[in-house]
Amino acid sequence: MKKLLSIPAIALVGILFLQGNSASEPGTVLTINTHEAALPDNVKAVVDQKCYGCHNANSKNEKGKAKLDWDALDKMKKSKRMAAMGEISEVLEKGEMPPKKFLENKPEAALTEAELATLVEWSAGKKKKSK
């Protein structure tokens, strides 16, 4: 008899557990590309125009995708994300992105001084917050 009573109780607990894990918190916005939610509008505009083509999960550029995937950035643990932000800042400050070979074929992909400043400020700012 006790076994019969425990089965519905276990089922009820399981249902409540599953509902709690699958329901979004109020105010949660789901997006297909996480870079849309993670980036301020001014940074997102630059990333979309100049960076995202090579640095996304579906890119044909395997090297670019391996170095940085903007879609995965928001999903990273905080320590990995902060390390990635530091690397982004360093690469930009050294003038290594976009690569010179890439710019030979697509000069329009070059970052303007304003775009570069936007990305460096954002990536360095994220890095400073973790300290």
pLDDT at 76: 86
- Closest residue by Cα to residue 33 from 62, 74, 64: 74
Separation in Å, CA 50 to CA 14, 17, 45, 77, 79 = 47, 43, 9, 25, 26
Cis? peptide before 98, omega within 30° of 0 = yes
Six token digits for residue 15: 């249902």
Residues of the chain with pLDDT > 70: what percent?
Answer: 66
Q: What is the pLDDT of residues 2-61, one digit of tens each?
A: 555 555 545 444 444 444 443 434 333 323 343 334 689 999 999 999 998 889 888 888
How many Å apart are CA 73 and CA 57, to the nearest integer? Answer: 11
Q: What is the pLDDT of residues 61-95, one digit of tens each?
A: 889 888 998 888 888 888 888 898 899 999 999 99
For residue 36, the model assigns a pLDDT of: 39
Cα–Cα distance for residue pair 5/75, rounded to 1 Å: 42
